[in-house]
Amino acid sequence: MPEGTVLAFDFGEKRIGVATGETLLGSAHPLTVIHAESNDARFAAIGKLIAEWRPVQLVVGLPTHADGTPHDMTRLACKFAERLQRRFNLPVGLADERLTSLDAEARLRETGRDSKSAKPLLDAVAAQLILQTWFESPHHVSPAQPPA
C-alpha cells in the first residue's frame, strides 16, 4: 500500500461519518460528519475533503448482520464505495463495521458525554473505528468482493 493519508467513511442514508489516518502510523482520528440530503451535495463535500487531505486510499465501512450476512445497507455501502472509486479514481477498500456504532457510543460515554452531546460526533467516531479496523486487518476487501 502506498504511504499517505487514508479517508474512511461510515456511510448512512442521512449522515456520513468521516475519519482520517496515515498509513505509516496506522492510527485513525475522527474528522467530520457530512449532513447532506442529495447525493450531489454529499459527493461535493467529499470532493472538498479529498482536495484538502489528498488521500492515497479511501475506506468504506461494510455493514452486515452480526453473523456476517449482508442486508440492505450492505448493498448501499458497496454502491457508495463503487461511486467513490469511479468519481475520484482512488482505491477504495471495505472494512467490517459490525458493532462500530455501539463501540463509538461507549467511547463517547467514557468521555463524559451524554447521548445528546455525543450524537454529532458519533458517525465520525464510527468512521474512526472503521479505519482502525482496516489498518489492523491482515487482508483488505475490495468493493468488487464483499464478504459472503
What is the reported pTM?
A: 0.83
Predicted pLDDT of residue 10: 94
Q: Is the pLDDT of residue 122 over 80?
A: no
Average pLDDT score over residue span 135-141: 67
Which stretch of 3-17, 51-65, 102-116 has the lowest confidence by average pLDDT?
102-116
| CATH code for the part of the protein at 5-136 | 3.30.420.140
Segment 44-64, tens digit of pLDDT = 999 999 999 999 999 999 988
| Sheet containing 92-96, strands listed edge to edge, beginning at the edge strand earlier in sequence | 27-34, 16-22, 5-10, 57-62, 92-96
Q: Is the pLDDT of residue 142 over 50?
A: no
Average pLDDT score over residue span 34-39: 91
Residue type, 97: E
Supply the Cα-derived Rg of the chain in whole angstroms.
14
- Give percent above pLDDT 70 in the chain: 76
φ, ψ for residue 146, nearest 5 deg:
-65, 150
